[in-house]
Structure 1
């Protein structure tokens, strides 16, 4: 922590470069709107186009060394507009007097010493922020998926389910919103929310959402995009990125602009209750042209569809979600800015969403009221800027997450009984990094981070007349890290990348509500311990053409150990470790051009796998279950059939085996749990002009999730998966106002997303069906 404070202090007193500093500018031919986005990133300025017609105008590329003001003025002139400075590093591009049409001449101007303007047909580059050093999509040696924020809002604002619907490589458990675990590729550990760290790192900006807590299922409203990097990503992201990372990129506050947008919708679920959703976003300039405020508010009600005949209640599993995010951006000096972010979300599930297999459709025989409450809060402080050509970003954040769950724990011949589990997490984290994008064939990144995470898991059994505490556990970790990565263009089209991450972790833990006699015998496991881990990475990336690339890479990942509960005892489990070799290829870019295709094949050795099982008294516990190996292959592609119609498809295959598991956990199939052998998706997007400023758009998808197993051990060997899901959405309107109609689970398939409702399931065969066919009508507006 002390090191992080010194780094932050250096940043605050570092000399600030002058705004007129020249920089290398390189925008590609395309629309003015796309060019402005690229130029704003390169010059670290805020640029707003006031006229949508100007944003759609085609302009040539712009290249050379110049200051930001000159680059913005040249771009504006190319679009037949003018640039107006509205702040120290904020600009507005507006119609120029006497220019009703854009400049259409494609003649090459006279050569100049500092710049060259030329036509190019390639689309604007996409900068992958999750690379942490501004790599373009085609430069990343690995599989990257980028989901546009507008696409994620199609059919209403959702959460992680919007990601799993669109990517075959991303899957999730289905305990319920705010309780699930997310997996990427074939790397999954267990079905429960225990002390193990997640296998997927989830981030908002540069700050991790959770450490060893479930997916908070944040609403994906007002998102610029979501980036998914398949793992491991140990060098850049450290512990808990075995399967990869999911990075949420919200729209930042825009200086000098006042705007608002909103979405409202209502839904009807077959054999269930109605629901509704509301989302609103506002952007406001503050303090002249040096600051801006952006706020988003979300409210969602999902109607229930599960009945509990024993209790005489229908549609019990209603879920209410209420959340919001506020961010402020202040330009403290030329090329330097500070951003403050605060968000919160509360999720209340009235009851559980599982049913009894083989009984009445959509019905549960549970004898008590179950359900959950999940509360999540985060605060971030971000400072970013330039020191010469070196870019700097430091993020400090606080996270608080509470999850309270209730399960039916009634014994067959006993009274109704409830098992309650509470998971309370606190995290403090800082990451500071310095990097330089590629210059003369060489680019680099160095960084340091510190994370303190404390989690307390408590458990109780309750009947109408009694309440008794079960053994719980507290886990604490302090994790300090330094890391670096560098790339060298060894040939014109061949780039070699190497990196490493050194992590020192201090772990501690102790039992909660442990019986005195057991505590004395078990005292030895409550001591602190320290471990050091080094994670190397290597990659070769070859550009085979303007739109084609081939790569090979080696990457490692790990998760620290901790303390778990087994029966009435607290014991240790060790850290686990993965080593992955991957080969892949890409051609084209999704959504631009006539055709795109990507493919990857990976092999992972997984040592000392951390996973959950059912202990002797029927409660979830955690242990190292042996070593394993995972083969994974995925392919995605798209085809532009007509200018307005695009088809896309994706397929993933996983094969896994666990070697030498403990005898108590032996089953006939020792595969990694929760990962289907086969999963696939197909979809389409369609865009058609139906009048002046009016368009009709549509998108649809169908996905298949193959068979998988719930978990490890005889009690968790239940099959799940093997179902189809589908969706269709239409929108008619202008950019400022539109009406939407969407339909999900078109075939009204029951399926079985997850074979778990309560771990106390003696004599019961459980399943988690898909939400029945649901239709939604919505209205969206922006101004």
Structure 2
């Protein structure tokens, strides 16, 4: 292979010839380009010639999936920065230099879908990492912001999970831990509260192009059958508007494939130390329709997660079992070579039998509550997407609805009185539309995007106290919002490697609502407080990016974000809280392509000026309320990177440091607020990813990771001053198999640490000393099969 002729010829192996246009299952382990070419030629019955010995020695990532031989060759060439030339039917030559073989029709679209790298853990795609959440199909190297990308295959390996899979892999993303379907997410030091109330989230969550919710908690969707997950650190106000102060998390589902029939199944069983067993199963099916002009893709997940919290006063063990049922169906219709219509529907139901907190300083995993708590979370989502091209321009129009219903139960027993449960019911309905037109920058000097966004959101929060014999309603609140927005962003390339970007977003919001479950006389008295009102926001942005080399770039940017005001409950009264706004300046640097280059790193420093911060506190009755708590400053430093220690062994790492302060806190709080709650001052992660061919038919993949979450304060005010965090989580995942069948073994919480992920289970004073421990050491065995 390394002779003086400077040519490497991979001849046809003895396997039967396979037509280049036919899809087949391909699994080529990571290695040199020469080794990958030999394996690929054997698996596809093709001929591959490598004309340069330097090219032959380059590292190539793993190539895995169902595709044609030509697509696999192009993927190999792209990862090695090579030029692919078709020399005959089922024969190609790889030359040194950048290039791409011309294609046409549907194969261009399918090849493009395989050329977007999505995971630093599973390196297997093209050097031009396209970040779709930029809304302009921009290359990662040209985005002036911190971006984290996760592969859908990576987060679902070993069974599908929820949002916790993201927090385990990205150090800048954190969460509360009330329970599945009840949590709030935070990114990079921008956090507001611990409770599910009327405030809008600081993180925007999206499925495709549509927002998952507006001011409801994280629905904790199953992360199955996803192409990738994109996390953009905020603010991201210009493109995403309200609720993106901390950033956005975008789930990109796999689209229906027009010419492939496939079925993928997973089954797993787990055992939790100190707790009960778990079961999970998943199915993904793709079926072409209408002579390959349309396709249907269906995903179904079911899980029963065993409990590990005991309630001695109830004589019950492992009370916090959680059952999850989720389904998603999507249909794609190709109405022309350049235009598609996608319809997607999703439903998910989460039933938590009881709470997952324990008594601080008590017996491990014991709760002192005397009543059954828990929650029920139901989520529905539907969207219709029209996408296509108008010459060089692209258009995408998304219209959809989402409904989220959450019922939470908290122990509200007063010492010496009968048992009492506080019930909070949050019902949210969202209607959203966005149409955008953009000119991709690509190799042009100029690129831009312009869009229209419309949102109508209604949230009804009802509360009551239940003794088992009687139920009395407490004051509730209705918040309504109608939002209309125009936005635009444009980039200009002054010269090769120097790009300036400017953007702006203009939003008009109409707010309304009122009190719920109050006497008529009091409702009249408060009519002026709950009257409709309007708010406006103008969010400018600017950035400058300089590419020092093909692999290294520097950037600086300014962005703004905001959240509209609303109505909150305090004791028996409903009152207004104002909008808050964040202004952030950030500088950063990137080097290398994650998972492809021998070494990659990203670093950024940001300063955020946050005015009129919306946050939660406990009112005189012990119930959570919302107010503007003052102005704050947040400094954040984050770093991430990876390095190949060997051809098949990669080290990944990430860390974030946050420092915050709050100035001139509001007078009704009895203690001075020093910093923003819920965000650890330091969080870090370390991981090892290993892939090695055991035989020609089997490959071993391994993931070992550990993450540390530092200390943080629960909330605002003396009642919420408890510390949380300061724990180490860890996990190990092994998979032995190929692209058709595999067995998995996973272990989480390797050290069986108890920790304290969250210092809240109930906001009532009866059980103030609380911890939310990590799930104890858990072992899962699973199998996945595709055909």
Q: TM bucket by the smaller chain?
A: 0.7 to 0.9
Question: Normalised by the size of structure 1, how large is the TM-score?
Answer: 0.87
Change (3 A) 1:78 1:309: closer
- Following superposition, the deviation at residue 122 of structure 1 comes to 11
Q: Deviations over 1:528-584 (max 9, x none)?
A: 001111000000000110111000000000000000000000000000000000000
- Following superposition, the deviation at residue 78 of structure 1 comes to 11
Equivalent residue for 1:179? 182
Change (3 A) 1:59 1:523: farther
Map residues 742-781 of structure 1 onto 2, 5 A cutoff. 742-762=746-766, 764-781=768-785
Distance 1:80 1:712 in 2: 55
Q: Runs of 5+ in structure 1 lacking a partner? A: 1-46, 62-73, 82-95, 116-120
- Following superposition, the deviation at residue 388 of structure 1 comes to 1.4
Distance 2:410 2:325 in 1: 23
Equivalent residue for 1:104? 93
Q: Deviations over 1:238-279 (max 9, x none)?
A: 000000000000110000110111111000000100001111
3-state SS of the aligned residue for 1:162? helix
The alignment status of 1:673 with 2:647, answered yes or no, reads: no
Equivalent residue for 2:706? 702
3-state SS of the aligned residue for 2:710? strand
Map residues 610-629 of structure 1 onto 2, 5 A cutoff. 610-629=614-633
Equivalent residue for 2:287? 284
Equivalent residue for 1:50? 24
Residue number among 225, 229, 238 corresponding to 1:226 in the alignment: 229
For the 8 Å contact 1:518–1:568, the answer to whether it is kept is no
For the 8 Å contact 1:469–1:513, the answer to whether it is kept is yes
Distance 1:202 1:479 in 2: 17
Equivalent residue for 1:164? 167
How many aligned positions are there? 705
Distance 1:325 1:122 in 2: 26
Larger mean CA deviation between 536-545 and 154-163 belongs to: 154-163
Residue number among 333, 336, 352 corresponding to 2:339 in the alignment: 336
Equivalent residue for 2:146? 143
Distance 1:194 1:640 in 2: 45
Equivalent residue for 2:596? 592
For the 8 Å contact 2:25–2:740, the answer to whether it is kept is no
For the 8 Å contact 1:265–1:776, the answer to whether it is kept is yes
Residue number among 471, 485, 499 corresponding to 1:495 in the alignment: 499
- Following superposition, the deviation at residue 519 of structure 1 comes to 2.0
Distance 2:322 2:170 in 1: 25
Residue number among 257, 261, 268 corresponding to 2:260 in the alignment: 257
Change (3 A) 1:79 1:239: closer
Q: Deviations over 1:466-511 (max 9, x none)?
A: 2100000000000000000000001221100000000000000100
For the 8 Å contact 1:60–1:78, the answer to whether it is kept is no
3-state SS of the aligned residue for 1:488? strand
Equivalent residue for 1:7? none
Equivalent residue for 1:36? none
Distance 1:127 1:106 in 2: 24
The alignment status of 1:469 with 2:473, answered yes or no, reads: yes
Residue number among 281, 288, 312 corresponding to 1:309 in the alignment: 312
- Following superposition, the deviation at residue 664 of structure 1 comes to 2.9
Distance 1:59 1:400 in 2: 55
For the 8 Å contact 1:670–1:712, the answer to whether it is kept is no
- Following superposition, the deviation at residue 297 of structure 1 comes to 0.2
Q: Deviations over 1:28-86 (max 9, x none)?
A: xxxxxxxxxxxxxxxxxxx974363479887999xxxxxxxxxxxx99499599xxxxx
Equivalent residue for 1:543? 547
- Following superposition, the deviation at residue 525 of structure 1 comes to 1.1
3-state SS of the aligned residue for 2:765? coil
For the 8 Å contact 1:664–1:713, the answer to whether it is kept is no
Distance 1:752 1:113 in 2: 55
Q: Deviations over 1:131-166 (max 9, x none)?
A: 000101111100000001111012221010000000
Residue number among 348, 351, 355 corresponding to 2:358 in the alignment: 355
Change (3 A) 1:528 1:50: same
Over aligned residue pairs, what C-alpha RMSD do you find? 2.5
Distance 1:346 1:711 in 2: 29
Distance 1:632 1:174 in 2: 23
- Following superposition, the deviation at residue 694 of structure 1 comes to 0.8
3-state SS of the aligned residue for 2:739? coil
Q: Deviations over 1:394-420 (max 9, x none)?
A: 000010110000000000111000000
- Following superposition, the deviation at residue 764 of structure 1 comes to 3.3
Distance 2:236 2:140 in 1: 16
Distance 2:774 2:338 in 1: 49
Map residues 184-263 of structure 1 onto 2, 5 A cutoff. 184-263=187-266
Distance 2:581 2:592 in 1: 34
Distance 1:482 1:544 in 2: 34
Distance 2:202 2:767 in 1: 32
Distance 1:780 1:202 in 2: 29
3-state SS of the aligned residue for 1:539? strand
The alignment status of 1:381 with 2:370, answered yes or no, reads: no
3-state SS of the aligned residue for 1:106? strand
- Following superposition, the deviation at residue 464 of structure 1 comes to 2.5
For the 8 Å contact 1:309–1:363, the answer to whether it is kept is yes
- Following superposition, the deviation at residue 657 of structure 1 comes to 0.7
Equivalent residue for 2:303? 300
The alignment status of 1:683 with 2:695, answered yes or no, reads: no
Question: Normalised by the size of structure 2, how large is the TM-score?
Answer: 0.87
For the 8 Å contact 2:205–2:213, the answer to whether it is kept is yes
Q: Deviations over 1:632-653 (max 9, x none)?
A: 0000111101100000111100
For the 8 Å contact 1:143–1:230, the answer to whether it is kept is yes
Q: Deviations over 1:90-112 (max 9, x none)?
A: xxxxxx99967x423639999x9
